[in-house]
Amino acid sequence: MMKRILLAMVLASAMSMPAQAWQSWDAFKSANYEAGRVIDYNDNRLITTSEGQSYALFFALAAGDKATFETMLKWTETHLSAGDLSKHLPAWLWGKAPEGRVIDSNNAVDSDMWIAYCLLEAARLWDEPRYREKGLALLTLLKTQVREIPTLGKVLLPGQYGFEKDGRTTLNPSYFPLFLLRRFAIEDAYWNDVFEGCLRATLRSSPNGFAPDWVRFEKDGSIVTEESVGSYNAIRVYLWAGMMSPKDPVRALLKKHFAPMVRLTETMNVPAENVEVNTARANGPGSLGFAACVLPLMDDNKHAALIRTYLTAEPIVKENYYRNVLTLFGLGFDQREFAFDQNGFVYFPRGQGAKR
């Protein structure tokens, strides 16, 4: 009887304990977050980007950190969206040297997508209707960034200005996290066509299994023939592909398509910093943040185990903003802090995240 009572007490105590915090998120906040904004200390202007805000909103959602989510959302809306996310796409660059102000008012569409996604998912997980209203309004604004290119279909421009000239359109494949578009299509079937167009652009721009940072399309849908390099932008293409649900058939397609990048990573132990897309010529090793991006596409083998060992030993320091966010995505996904289903909904295999 006494043993049963003691067992019941232990179980009750365990159930009442708070879920374990996501330590990497706490470390990131200590290093790169202050008063509502994410700071890139590698730039002497102490910049904040809409990218950094959008990624950190997702990490806060995954960590169940409602207070930080709300503070970041308010800062983003106030300082990057002229006070209203439902009417203004966020400016991508803000600096605090010598004084805080928008440095470049152009938007970055991938960040806009992540912010809309975080708002929709926060509304669902935290039962906050006002987040949903903002998320849907932002989706409406995002439609203004869609263009139709022959043989591709509907795709998203990288931003409002500077990507359409002389009948040519410049795209950034790393701006297409396809599982976000799956989620948007749950709200509005319009986004199904954008998903298909962005998938075509991703595949066609990387014929040898290596994604480019940027790709230009002629007005007839053909690619402008020129030297093309994949590096600090393109590395995220592999990250987004690897984080797709195994139940989404597109993931298997992308895994096969980008197998050359995975093989190169296994050969070098980390991904190359630069890859010439058309020749597959690699130039030197990239950072561990790059390795975090390829990890979700890798099989569970000795190469993946080595990268995990490197990543878990890598400290989060303020001078490495970009490496830090890539690591939180890649290693966080690998450690099952979060995952995405075939419809793009986020969930938490360890039972934590937004429910904490």
Please report, for the chain, the start and end positions of each structural domain, with discontinuous segments joined by +. 22-341
For residues 69 and 57, the answer to whether their CB atoms sit within 8 Å is yes
pLDDT digits (tens, 9 = 90+) for 246-273: 999 999 999 999 999 999 999 999 999 9
For residues 233 and 176, the answer to whether their CB atoms sit within 8 Å is no
> What are the tokens at 243?
């984080």
Which segment of 89-98, 114-123, 230-239 scores lowest on mean pLDDT? 89-98
Query: Given 51, 77, 248, 337, which residue is catalytic?
Result: 51
pLDDT digits (tens, 9 = 90+) for 71-97: 999 999 999 999 999 999 999 999 987
SS3 128: coil
Cα angle at 102 between 180 and 134, to 5 degrees?
35
Handedness of CA 48, 323, 70, 144 (dihedral sign): positive
Which segment of 3-12, 53-62, 111-120 scores lowest on mean pLDDT? 3-12
Q: How far is CA 60 from CA 64, 206, 226, 278, 341, in A?
A: 6, 33, 40, 38, 19
User: In the CATH hierarchy, which top-level class contains the domain 22-341?
Assistant: mainly alpha
Residue 163 has pLDDT above 50, yes or no: yes
Query: Given 77, 110, 121, 337, which residue is catalytic?
Result: 110
Let me know if 226 is a catalytic residue.
no
The pLDDT-based confidence of 99 (bands split at 50, 70, 90) is confident
Q: How far is CA 175 from CA 97, 111, 169, 214, 253, in A?
A: 28, 8, 14, 10, 19
Let me know if 110 is a catalytic residue.
yes
107-122: average pLDDT: 98
The pLDDT-based confidence of 8 (bands split at 50, 70, 90) is very low
pTM of this structure: 0.93
SS3 135: helix
